[in-house]
Chains A and B, each alone.
Chain A
Amino acid sequence: MSIATFASRLYLAAVFFFVFLPIGASVVFSFNSDRFPTLPLASFTFEWYAKAFSDDKIWDAFRNSVAVSLTAAAMSTFIGFSTAYTDFRYGFRFKAAYLALALLPPTIPLVIMGLAMLAWLSQIGLSGTLFGIIAAHTVLGSPFAMAVCRLRLHQMDPSLEAAAWNLGASEWATMRHVVLPFSAPALISAFCLTAAVSFDEFAVAWFVSGLNRTVPVAILEILQGNVDPQINAIGTVVFITSMTLVVIAQTIFMRRNRNG
């Protein structure tokens, strides 16, 4: 191994170390019986998990988060796929503007997005409702879903749809029997990815959630009160949930792409 290769691997290892150290620390302290995060560690305990999950407010927050992320993921995937398919299939004037608009949301700072959502949703009476958070997270998730679906559609032989029509399939039958099966790995990936985005998202949820807190908002409220190791326990659960979704998304997408 040359020095350059060694140095670049060391650098990569250092990057991962610094990224995962705080999360790793949080996981470790979630099982530590000491109230304050200090070394050396005291004894192993499930106390903080037991405490966190005996709290009705935390259960409510989890239920809200699951409902919001599943619904927002389904809607994001639908909108993202539709946008990507429109781009794949049709040429029209202002297509560049259409694509720019579809990919715009991630470029807006979350605080601005949160404020704007709050203002708009309260105008139409949805502020503080779960549906408001779902709408906001759908806006955030759709561009990711579109990017994933677009990658997959670009791998599709353009003759594939024409071949289906040629064999007697109408446009709808072609969508159902050819385009959707071909895109299935991307649809699953997009669903997992946008569910993870929604499950983790704090800023916009904090602005629009009101009394219907999601997990990240509930964490902040506990944090504002005092230093409580419950947060480590909840944080670990959130981290594992999100990572699992992202890993599923990646493996499905990568494996299917290799197979063609």
Chain B
Amino acid sequence: MDNPLVSFTGVSKRFGQVWAVKSLDLSITRGEFVALMGPSGCGKTTTLRMLAGLEEPTEGTISIGGRVMNGVAAHERDTPMVWQSLALFPFLNVRENVEFGLKMRGVAKEERTSRAKEWLDRLGMSDFGDRGIEQLSGGQKQRVALARSLVTEPEMLLLDEPLSALDAHLVIRMQGVLSSLQRELGITFVYVTHSQSEAFSMADRVVIMGDGEIAQIGPPREIYRRPATRFVAEFVGRNNIFEGEARGNSLHSPLGTLPLPVTAFGPAVMAVAADRVSANRDRPGEGPSVKGRFLSEEFSGTSILCYFEGSDGSTIKAQVDEEALDLLAPSHGEVFWISWSTDAAHLVGS
């Protein structure tokens, strides 16, 4: 990343007594799809708004294309955004909404009309130019919002939870639309979301934020397989967390002594992904095992997540397929052996 499009250097933002973002360092390259993800109040939206110039950083600098943007007004930046509420102008029709950015930049009438038409065509909305905003469905409004932001052909598009108001089946469709648009245009997308499936399915890199700080940056798979902190392991979900005292290559936890993948000493947290563990009724499987009492199962499409209670009251999750569950036929309260191979375990920072 020798020539980043965007760089945040030691950026902090304070609202009253609260630090919403704390000394954030982040570089984004051209053409990258970056997702900022975290629980609500983690500072992800504030970070995006600072990039758009809607909030001024309290400390630190933000530069875009090498130019320091501190003090540059929002309307002087080329950082169009797709809003959570979409924020389409209700008193303008679809075409006028799309033309708005061009009009504000003083583009002549004929060119505005032809460029707006081009983008409405591209997003499959060519028949809707004269419609009022209130006459559109949720998915159509989404497309108009995208066309309105992209019509000025920016280098970067900001998206603030744009799919959160849509029905589940439309979310999947719009994810496809966004991914292919980003690849075709080759521009940078900065996407804020609290949804793991949206972030992980579209982004090249995911930035996990918690409490105003970056907890981990990496490709989706790395974050999923190698969570850097306990917060990430828990937020990403489907991770089993074992806490205890590391003594060389074993972890002394309330559930027993478990082998560690690396050598460590002192208090430690070990994570094992739910899809890397297996449940067995009579005897432990290969590798480290703990005992768990079966609590419940949860269907989520193709896989099933089984919940067990460890001897210390902690919850242990195992992801199995439907066939395996039928074979296992667990009944509530029954005790199983939960096993994994040592290399599936991952030592995280606490």
Q: Which A positions have Cβ atoms within 8 angstroms of B?
A: 157, 159-160, 162-171, 173, 177-178, 181-182, 184, 259-260
Contact = CB atoms under 8 A, between A and B. Distances in A.
A171 B101 CA distance: 14
3 pairs of A and B residues whose beta carbons are closest in the complex? A163-B87, A167-B101, A159-B87
Contact of B104 (A160, A167, A184): A167
B81 A168 contact: no
A200 to B, nearest CB: 32
19 contacts: A157-B87, A159-B83, A159-B87, A160-B89, A162-B54, A163-B83, A163-B89, A164-B75, A166-B54, A166-B75, A166-B79, A167-B100, A168-B76, A168-B101, A170-B73, A170-B75, A181-B92, A260-B90, A260-B134
Interface string B33-72: 0000000000000000000111000000000000000000
A232 to B, nearest CB: 44
Contact of A169 (B90, B104, B148): B104
Contacts of A167: 75, 80, 100-101, 104, 148-149, 152
Contacts of A170: 73, 75
| A159, A171, A260, most chain B CB atoms within 10 A | A159
Contacts of B84: 159
B132 to A, nearest CB: 8
B171 interface: no
B75 A157 contact: no
B78 to A, nearest CB: 8
Report whether over half of chain B's contact residues are helix, strand or loop; otherwise say mixed. loop
B173 interface: no
Given A169-B75, A170-B75, A259-B134, A164 B100 contact: yes
A229 B71 CA distance: 70
A182 B104 contact: no
B74 A166 contact: yes
Given A163-B87, A165-B73, A166-B81, 18 more contacts: A157-B85, A159-B85, A160-B87, A163-B89, A165-B74, A166-B52, A166-B54, A167-B149, A168-B101, A168-B104, A168-B152, A169-B75, A169-B100, A171-B75, A173-B75, A181-B89, A181-B91, A260-B90
| A157, A160, A166, A171, most chain B CB atoms within 10 A | A166
A165 B74 CA distance: 6
B105 interface: yes
Interface residues of B, number: 27
B104 A173 contact: yes
Contacts of B149: 167
A29 B326 CA distance: 92
A164 B89 CA distance: 9
Given A165-B74, A165-B75, A178 B89 contact: yes
Interface in B123-149: 134, 148-149
B100 A165 contact: no
A259 B132 CA distance: 10
Report whether over half of chain A's contact residues are helix, strand or loop; otherwise say mixed. helix
Nearest to B52: A166
Contacts of B80: 166-167
Contacts of B85: 157, 159
A169 B148 CA distance: 14
A184 B90 CA distance: 12
A164 B85 CA distance: 14
Nearest to A178: B89
Contacts of A160: 87, 89
Contact of B81 (A163, A169, A178, A181): A163
Contacts of B75: 164-171, 173
Contacts of A166: 52, 54, 74-75, 79-81
Interface in B143-161: 148-149, 152
| A173, A177, A184, most chain B CB atoms within 10 A | A177
Nearest to B81: A166
A162 B53 CA distance: 10
Contacts of B81: 163, 166
A27 B101 CA distance: 55
A164 to B, nearest CB: 7
Contacts of B148: 167
A178 B54 CA distance: 17
A159 B49 CA distance: 12
Interface string B248-259: 000000000000
A255 B100 CA distance: 26
Nearest to B158: A166
A154 to B, nearest CB: 15
Given A170-B75, A259-B134, A260-B134, A165 B87 contact: no
B242 to A, nearest CB: 44
A171 B148 CA distance: 19
Contacts of A184: 91
Contact of A182 (B74, B90, B152): B90
B54 A182 contact: no
Contacts of A163: 81, 83, 87, 89
A83 to B, nearest CB: 22
